[in-house]
Structure 1
Amino acid sequence: MFLLPSLLVFCVLFQCVVCNDAQCALPRPNSFTFSINSVRNLTGHWTAQVQLEHGASRKDVGPWVADIEHTTTTCEDSESIHIVATVTAPPQRPGGDYELIPKLGYYKFHTSGKNWREARQICEQEGAHLLILNSEEEAGVIRSFWRRHPKLFDGWRNSCAYIGIHDEFVEGEYITLFGESLNATGYARWAKNEPGEGTSGNSGCVGRDGALYDTNGFNHLAFFCEQEL
């Protein structure tokens, strides 16, 4: 068995959230210990073994995942071993007032009016994002939230809530917060004659019937936040 030569190039990319509570006993929730060992076996193949030990918070929503890429480059009589380990930690669950919808995610309907940018910021502060609809099933969930609140505002504002789509970059080309085309989300059911606000309406909202509308992002509307499973 041969030890790893000094020519090893070692990269670790990771995302994690560290517990700030000084009273936490070790191992702290969301902290982790990571080790990697690379050896050549009897057949001459290089193998890499990864060990990952981490704490867990009750707010974690999924497993930690370690993906390893191990490549070997030969140049004359020397070898270069390159190992890239990507450790992905799950996001924390949003606040306790989010509602879990099995197989879909966590949702919250904010009924106080905010403009689109304020709504986006609030969702992100809660560990979520403005709703992005992906299916008719999910639209049905949103309609059920609407039915709990028959009266929020006067006029048309009572029937539209901000979601995470916009056409701020190219007029008429709606995309999600993450740059994905609206047509690629799996749900692009616009109301009749929508989008119809032209250059004055760059923010998306969802109506009580589940249809999509565009509106001016400075309007103060209710809004939906979500976090996927």
Structure 2
Amino acid sequence: MSKTSVALLLILWLTSTITSQGVTSAELNKTISLTIASRKNQTGHFISQAAVNSDDHKVPSHWKMEILQSNYDHSGIQSFRLAANFVAPPPLPADYQLFPGVGYYKFHTTVANGFEDASLQCAMEGGHLAILNSESEHQVLQAMFARYPESQLKHEWAFVGFHDRGKEGEFYTIFGQPLQSTGFTRWSHSFQPDDAGKAEDCGSIHRNGGINDIGCGVKLPFFCEYDLSWTEN
């Protein structure tokens, strides 16, 4: 390989989950390959190109990719590194409600069999357990909860996407972000979180819009969210 021409091949194995009536397990998993090549041209500039392919020849119609290239010079030897971030979002669920400027949400009033079950159901729809990032988002979930009075739904709490299962009192979102960095940390009551019975390690939201720690195995309704940024061009 010459000093003026460098090629790098990077393969990323991505799994996308598709939910549909009658879909087989073989159809649920798709493999997408991302090939990145980089070379140094005659003027000394590095040029990078990327190609995306799918095992079923159907590349997602909506996807984003960022490539970061870093150059190094050590004792006269030049090298570089490429880092790629490829995002192919799941299809937008048809039954999620859009709140303009905030996001798409669905309130599952049929209870989940615990936090993990709720998270799985959201993922199978192409979403994730809702994460509150603003006052506006909290107002959306509170308004959706209010559509079902307690006399009808008979629940004060619903699962949302945070927990402290790693270490008691250190709350993180399902994506590993510290809860303090989300933009919304208003607890439902002054005595929350209380880790009642030393068995409350999962996140929930109260009818009043505040958050709370709750048992991971309890049966509760739950909120799913489809990331608004996935719909941006």
TM over 0.5: yes
Distance 1:130 1:33, change over 3 A: closer
Aligned match of 1:164 in 138, 158, 161?
Answer: 161
Question: Alignment partner of 1:144: what SS?
Answer: helix
After the TM superposition, which residues 120-131 of structure 1 pair with which residues of structure 2 at under 5 Å, given as runs? 120-131=119-130
* 2:72/2:78 contact within 8 Å kept: yes
Shift of 1:174: 2.0
Q: 1:116 to 1:17 in 2, by over 3 A?
A: closer
Q: Is the 8 A contact 1:201 1:214 kept in 2?
A: yes
Q: SS where residue 222 of structure 2 aligns?
A: strand
Determine the C-alpha separation between the residues in 1 that align with 2:206 and 2:117. Answer: 19
3-state SS, counterpart of residue 132 of structure 1: coil
1:177 aligns with 2:174: yes
**1:225 to partner: Cα distance:** 0.9
Q: What is the deviation of 1:163?
A: 0.7
Kept in 1, the 8 Å contact 2:13–2:33? The answer is no
1:186 aligned onto 2:183:
yes
Tell me how far 1:33 sits from its aligned partner.
7.8
Under a length normalisation based on structure 2, what TM-score does the superposition of the two structures give? 0.74
Identity %: 26
Give the partner amino acid of 2:69: E
Distance 1:4 1:210, change over 3 A: farther
Tell me, what secondary structure is at the counterpart of 1:137? helix
The answer as to whether partners of 1:8 and 1:80 remain within 8 angstroms in 2 is no
Distance 2:161 2:92 in 1: 17
**Residues of 2 paired with 1:126 and 1:19: CA distance?**
8
Helix, strand or coil for the counterpart of 1:10? Answer: coil
- Which secondary structure state, in structure 1, belongs to the residue aligned with residue 84 of structure 2? strand
Other structure's SS at 1:100 match: strand
* Secondary structure of the corresponding residue to residue 112 of structure 1: strand
| Aligned-residue RMSD, C-alpha | 3.3
When Rg is computed on C-alpha atoms for both structures, the one with the higher figure is 1
Paired position in structure 2 for 1:67 = 67
Does the alignment pair 1:211 with 2:210? yes
Equivalent residue, structure 1, for 2:135:
136
* SS class of match (1:12): coil
Q: Give the match for residue 10 of structure 2.
A: 12
Q: CA 1:15/1:69 → structure 2, altered by over 3 Å: closer, same or farther?
A: farther
Q: SS in structure 1 opposite 2:168?
A: coil
| CA shift in 2, pair 1:47/1:217, >3 Å | closer
- Normalising by structure 1, we get a TM-score of 0.75
Whole-angstrom distance in 2 between the partners of 1:116 and 1:50: 42
The one-letter code of the counterpart of 1:8 is V
Structure 2 stretches lacking a partner, 5+ long: 19-30
The separation in 2 between residues aligned to 1:7 and 1:179, in whole angstroms, is 39
**Aligned twin of 2:39:** 38
Aligned residues: 209
Q: Residues 34 and 112 (structure 1 numbering): CA distance in 2 closer, same or farther, change over 3 Å?
A: same
What residue number does 1:84 align with? 82
